[in-house]
Amino acid sequence: MYNSFSIRFIPIISLFLIAMTIPAQSSFRNEQKKHARVKAAYSEKESIIKALFTTRKLVYANFHMILVGFKAEKKLKVYIRGTKQKSYSLLKSYDFCVLSGELGPKRKQGDLQVPEGLYEISNYNPQSSYHLSIKVNYPNKSDKVLSDKKNPGDDIYIHGNCVSVGCIPLTDELIKEVYLMAVETKNAGHKIPVYLFPFEMTPENMLVYKMNDDYKKHVAFWDNLQKMYNWWDKNKKEIPYTVDAKGKYQLGQ
């Protein structure tokens, strides 16, 4: 006959044995590193990225990341924030390998345009035809109002392989760094905002582009987007915004 202690003890042992038979949940990082290209990226680039973090006095652990792209300048800038920091700091700027389309937002399938607006990373492709790629969630709420209703386009990525039909291409060597940092950010449970601007939207640049007849059709959209740029440029924090029924970005939650 079991005594009362034994009766209480047996379920505890049973639970322990059951727990021992359940495999440990694999992290997003570990799943990604099962792919040869991601594994190679870590092998080749992680020490470089860690050294860059140290130089910038940032901690390479549980960090937040924002990607900011400028089409005219052909730059993709990586900003990082530690969990104890309130604002983001520039870690590194990457050159676009090539740029398709022209200045102005993407509005339909096949227009070759790189989107302009406020986005976030929505998917990771470790076996991409373009070496490695991370997906931008175009069309967003604004695009769904302002773009072609039937065929707004999709499949916008930041990737390698130096070709573009509306995406942001880096070289294979550079996408390894960006992809690695994106994996680390997601592995820590953080989303990655992506802010894509036609150019650095300073008052001086806005005046220059507004005077160009080729871009007058974009002026209203750019005026709206400049408010988001100004907030980011001043605060270096995630932009708090909503999208109204007309597809305009509005500051505030």
Numbers of helices and strands, H then E, in the chain: 7, 10
Tens of pLDDT along 130-182? Answer: 999 999 999 999 999 999 999 999 999 999 998 888 899 999 999 999 999 99
Contact between residue 68 and residue 77 where contact means Cβ atoms under 8 Å apart: yes
Phi-psi category of residue 17: left, alpha or beta, with phi > 0 → left and psi -120 to 50 → alpha: alpha
In this structure, the strands spanning 241-243 and 131-136 are unpaired
d(CA 226, CA 238): 15
pLDDT value for 152: 96
* pLDDT of 165: 83
Q: Could you tell me the two tokens for 38?
A: 């991601």
And the tokens for 138?
């175009």
At 217, the pLDDT band (50, 70, 90 cuts) reads very high
Q: Region 24-35: what's the mean pLDDT?
A: 88
At residue 163, the pLDDT reads 85
Those residues whose C-beta lies under 8 Å from the C-beta of residue 205, and which sit 6 or more positions away, are: 199
Max alpha carbon distance in the chain (Å)?
A: 93
Tokens of 54: 């140290």
Give yes or no for residue 21 having a pLDDT over 80.
Answer: no
Residue 141, token pair as written in the block: 């709420």
- Under a CB-based contact definition with an 8 Å cutoff, are residues 120 and 70 in contact? no
Cβ atoms of 251 and 241 closer than 8 Å: yes
pLDDT of residue 72: 97
pLDDT grade for 18, boundaries at 50, 70 and 90: very low
pTM for the model stands at 0.89
d(CA 104, CA 203): 17
Give the pLDDT score at 2. Answer: 44
Output the six-digit token pair for 171: 């070289």
**What's the average model confidence in pLDDT over 67-93?**
97
Please say whether the beta carbons of 59 and 82 come within 8 A: yes
Q: Which residue in 252, 154, 239 sits closest to 201, CA to CA?
A: 239
Q: Tokens in use for 97? A: 């390998």
In angstroms, the CA 23 to CA 179 distance is: 27
Distance CA 141, CA 143 (A): 6
Q: Which residues contact 82 (CB under 8 A, 6 or more apart)?
A: 58, 59, 62, 63, 64
